Amino acid sequence: MTCECEKRVFNFSAGPAVLPVSALQEAQRDLVCYPGAGASIMELSHRGKVVDGIVKEAEARLRRLLNLGDDYHVLFLQGGATTQFSMIPMNFLGENGADYLEEGTWSKKAMTEARRVGKVVVPWSGKEGNYNRLPADSDYKVRPEASYFHVTSNETIHGVEFHREPEAYGVPMVCDASSDFLSRPMDAHKYALIYAGAQKNIGPAGVTVVILSDALYQKRIEDEKRPIMLDYKTHVENKSLYNTCPVFSIYMVGLVLKWLEEEIGGLEKIYQLNKKKAELLYSAIDNSNGFCAPHVSNHVDRSLMNVTWRLPSEELEKKFVQEAEALGMIGLKGHRSVGGLRASIYNAFPYEGVERLVEFMADFQRRHA
């Protein structure tokens, strides 16, 4: 039975997050029997022609969206961004260490794992302001001898986002783009490595996209003791198919990329839609006469993906979440480490859902201000 879209809730969760309905419906149609295969996509061998074609098509769509040439490897791996926190330094962190911007919770986690491998230098930290802003390029310098320079393009918990490609000062730049990947045009060629867990913007949990420049790959540090699954060489040489890949997750990523490319019309179009959603929500927060307090006051650093704010008391915040859920809006509770409220409005989140939230926010303020 097909799920009626009007009965779906508005899912503001930070991830796993909302997926395009058209992608879900196509998966639903093909779930029991993939066309021409005689079996479900979840039952097919990753060594077979059908899965090989699905992986190649997803890669081709990704390359078109980001205008990637043959000088980049596209990998579909497992273990989430957290595994990449370890895998990157294990492969590329040399004696001189690496530079990491400390922008919030996830960049701190990446730094912690890198320090298990070697030296980490922090050219800028947002800790003093509780991670409520990002640095301008002039606020930091990257050491020329650094193995690489690590940035997090969007911090889901605190709600800050780079709306530009940060200056790397000639050092290979590595980016955790998990929560805003493909939400805007991106000059991928300014990065040596981009990684992103799929479950925010481009698919279900279970697969992590890695875009690795061949230039950085050639600088990979040889280590015979490195576990084989944590060596990029394993996955580059086997084109993501060394072991059983997350077949269904890659299949779903392919459907989401199809939606983004064919239905939406590419990254510039989705960027305009994302800005429109975020502007509506931030306007409601800023015009609430202080009832809603944004975590990020500097407009240029505000995330288009994760909008964070506080109400006058934790009791009101709890009531807000409860009443919203009763009205079909879920996932609005802020991260447990910071509290408050958070609305994650990723690519597939509908504008109508933001309109519904804004209407509720105004009504809630009238009743509780």
What are the structural domain ranges in the chain? 9-17+265-368, 23-263
Q: Which fold has domain 23-263?
A: Aspartate Aminotransferase; domain 2 (3.40.640)
Find the catalytic residue in 71, 119, 141, 176: 176
- Respond yes or no: is residue 200 known to be catalytic: yes
State the pTM of this model.
0.96
Find the catalytic residue in 200, 259, 301, 309: 200
Q: Is the dihedral of CA 109, 115, 121, 127 positive or negative?
A: positive
- Respond yes or no: is residue 106 known to be catalytic: yes
pLDDT at residue 336, rounded to an integer: 87
- What tens digit of pLDDT does each residue of 168-208 get? 999 999 999 999 999 999 999 999 999 999 999 999 999 99
Q: Is the dihedral of CA 14, 267, 167, 233 positive or negative?
A: positive
**Rounded-to-integer distance, Cα 170 and Cα 167, Å:** 8
**Rounded-to-integer distance, Cα 12 and Cα 357, Å:** 10
- Which residue stretches of the chain have pLDDT < 50? 1-2
pLDDT at residue 7, rounded to an integer: 81
Per the CB < 8 A criterion, the answer to whether 183 and 159 are in contact is no
How many CA atoms, within 13 angstroms, populate the side-chain half-sphere of residue 38? 2
Per the CB < 8 A criterion, the answer to whether 321 and 333 are in contact is yes
pLDDT at residue 337, rounded to an integer: 84
- What tens digit of pLDDT does each residue of 303-344 get? 999 999 999 999 999 999 999 999 999 999 999 888 999 999
Integer CA distances (angstroms), 38 to 2, 41, 55, 224, 255, in order? 21, 9, 19, 42, 20
pLDDT at residue 4, rounded to an integer: 53
Find the catalytic residue in 106, 259, 309, 333: 106
CATH architecture group of domain 9-17+265-368: Alpha-Beta Complex (3.90)
**Rounded-to-integer distance, Cα 60 and Cα 266, Å:** 14
